[in-house]
Structure 1
Amino acid sequence: MEFTEFAGYRVIRRLGAGGMGQVFLVEHPRLPRQDALKLLDAGVSRISPPDSGARPTCSRS
């Protein structure tokens, strides 16, 4: 998948990929910082059943 913008962020480059998705280095046009954006593959981004142990997380470095 090739794109230059996602959710208002400019995609600078792909940092890596693994079993769950891809991670990109992105930059917001009005904020003076770079962030990492992880896009989950379609198979893992579905809502998990309650007993799966999965929980939403968010972190900032």
Structure 2
Amino acid sequence: LRREPRGEALSTLESVALVLRHLERGPEAADALLAALERMMAAARLDAADPTQPAGG
């Protein structure tokens, strides 16, 4: 997985989630986007941990 160049750096999806929080009347869209990002990162970590498995599980 890529790492941010600085501690305060955000991914594109994290940045979009922050903008959505300011534009939308509730946090639902931003929360859903961040939850999807977390699931994607968890899947990537599992793939990286077991190189015998094909990509994607």
TM-score > 0.5 by shorter chain: no
**Is the helix fraction higher in 1 or 2?**
2
TM-score, reference length from structure 2: 0.26
Bigger strand share: 1
Q: Normalising by structure 1, report the TM-score.
A: 0.25
